[in-house]
Amino acid sequence: MPSGRGVGESSRLRSIVGGSVGNLIEWYDWYTYAAFAIYFAPSFFPASNSTLQLMNTAAIFAVGFLMRPIGGWVLGRYADRHGRKAALTMSVLLMCLGSLIIAVTPTYDFIGMAAPALLLFARLLQGFSVGGEYGTSATYMSEIATAGSRGFYSGILYVTLIMGQLLALAVLMLLQFFVLDAHELETWGWRIPFALGAVAAVAALYLRRNLEETEAYQNKDKSVAAGAGQLSMLLKHPKEVAIVVGLTVGGTLFFYTFTTYMQKFLVNTVGLSKGESTLVSAASLFVFMLLQPLMGALSDRVGRRPILIAFGVLALVSTVPLLTALSRADDAWTAFCLIMIALAISSLYSSISAVVKAELFPVEIRALGVGLPYSITVSVFGGSAESIALWCKHIGHETWFYWYVTACVLCSLVVYLFMREPQRSSRI
């Protein structure tokens, strides 16, 4: 499908919606694991210490991240060779399978170590899927948008990502407050959201099979082959690869700290109930979601680099004070306000991270160039965030984690300060 200015806005919006719905379901399935971990942990890892149970589930959450670079590599090459539409369809199919396996796996009491083994296998499938999803969807959204609105549509991409997380929390709240009691959730109710995710992924699969391909891909240089040809091209862009890694390190760790890990932090450190932590997480994520297209549109006017620098400076000086204040919060309202400050800062990065990466690479290796280095970085820093945080708490030095996040933000800030303005040097 053409992505130039000659395309009708209604056609472009249909493509955006079609791609976004699939992205939403992908991220719902991915975040459902994190949202329901506090309930299904005893089913897979019996232990008397709740922190150790969460550490075990967080470890599998982190292992799922290790598959993201492989997914970014395989599905990124697939997208650059066979099209964005084909890769997006493949990723949602694999996510569906992963959710279905988790939904039907018996507990540790019935099949012993086979239970966590199956949980691990399902999470590896989901990690592979989401590893290819980000690079391909970021490429698709950037190529389908007009030059003056790429930041805005990059924000829309993160809206669907956050909406997937919100949907997971909404299902959790519905089950918590209106359908099941805590015992039912811990024994069998946690399976419901995974089953819903598998069914929804089938619907997303249908939508993605009917997507239009982007004009940028259709007009690409067909002489670039898969495999060695793509790899050799990627190796010719070491600076761009390094920029993707550098700008992602602090942004992704800061994001995961105040989103996926925060629900456990509110229960395990702050002392809120599971219901209160879910409400706080959902409310803050909802406001965070609304900020994405606004910040993205702002970057279309003032440039990407000033927005990234603002994120780096604010995150650098606020991480330790915010997490310290959160650990001492007396009520849910105080926790919400503090988290909202952090997420407002995070939106300066999250809203434009997709388009900044896509603008760095030529069309022949764009999905691979975005997906592979991003997935490696997220696997190392985002995937390990919960495990490192819980380990620091377990050994009695939780504040070490606060400074670890700060140090990673500093690394990214250095990249923001020295990189060129992506909007002016865009290869899209």
71-81 core/surface letters (b: 16 or more CB in 10 A; e: else): bbbbbbbbbbb
Q: Which of 355-359, 389-393, 400-404 has the highest mean pLDDT?
A: 400-404
User: How far is residue 191 from each of residues 96, 100, 105, 106, measured CA to CA in Å?
Assistant: 14, 9, 9, 10
Provide the pLDDT confidence category of residue 243 given band limits of 50, 70 and 90: very high
> How much is the mean pLDDT over the chain?
85
Provide the pLDDT confidence category of residue 308 given band limits of 50, 70 and 90: very high
Q: Higher confidence at residue 169 or residue 377?
A: 377
Q: Residue 2's pLDDT is what? A: 38
Q: Residue 228's pLDDT is what? A: 54
* Amino acid letter, residue 389: A
Q: Is the pLDDT of residue 3 over 50?
A: no
Q: Which of 116-120, 160-164, 324-328, 361-365 has the highest mean pLDDT?
A: 324-328
- Which residue reads 């039907």 in tokens? 104
Q: Is the pLDDT of residue 285 over 50?
A: yes
For residue range 177-197, list pLDDT tens digits in order.
888 888 888 889 999 999 999
Residue pair 364/221 in contact by the 8 Å Cβ criterion: yes
For residue range 184-237, list pLDDT tens digits in order.
888 899 999 999 998 888 888 877 777 777 777 777 665 554 555 677 777 788
Q: Residue 229's pLDDT is what? A: 65
Tokens of 217: 């891909």
Q: Higher confidence at residue 103 or residue 46?
A: 103
Q: Is the pLDDT of residue 4 over 50?
A: no
Provide the pLDDT confidence category of residue 409 given band limits of 50, 70 and 90: very high
- Could you give the residue ranges of the DSSP H alpha helices within 210-271? 215-218, 228-235, 238-257, 262-265
Domains belonging to the chain, first-starting first, are: 9-418 (1.20.1250.20)
Q: Which of 45-49, 66-70, 95-99, 406-410 has the highest mean pLDDT?
A: 406-410
3 state DSSP class of 6: coil
What are the two backbone dihedrals, phi and then psi, of residue 104, each rounded to the nearest 5 degrees? Answer: -110, 0
Mean pLDDT for 113-136 is 88
Residues 6+ apart with CB under 8 A from 57: 33, 37, 40, 41, 44, 45
